[in-house]
Amino acid sequence: MYLENFARLGRVTAVNQDKFLSQVWFPDLEIGSDWFPVLRASSLPKINDLVLVLFLSGSPNNQPDGVILGVLTPWQ
């Protein structure tokens, strides 16, 4: 398997601050995720943030599973 099958970039579409979860849109796959846990609760992403996701195999309903590793920011 290739690295792109494990790590993916996506845009945050929803955030649940109470449970430290976010939903992500993967433009390369043209699919959205279910709620993913955020690895570092202290850095909860905002809607439209670009995030790096450890992407796991899909669930039975074809929704991707994964964990958000962090927010990517432009180099300054």
User: Structurally, how many domains does the chain consist of?
Assistant: 1
Structure confidence at residue 58 (pLDDT): 58
Could you tell me if residue 46 is inside a domain? yes
DSSP calls for 6-75? TEEEEEEEEEETTTTEEEEEETTTTEE---EEBS-GGGPPPTT-EEEEEEEPPPTTS--EEEEEEE----
Tokens 């590793």 -> residue: 69
Structure confidence at residue 42 (pLDDT): 72
Residue closest to 13 by CA, chosen among 41, 48, 58: 48
Could you tell me if residue 76 is inside a domain? no
Intra-chain end-to-end CA distance of the chain, in Å: 33
Could you tell me if residue 43 is inside a domain? yes
Which ranges of the chain have pLDDT less than 50?
A: 1
Domain that holds residue 32: 3-71
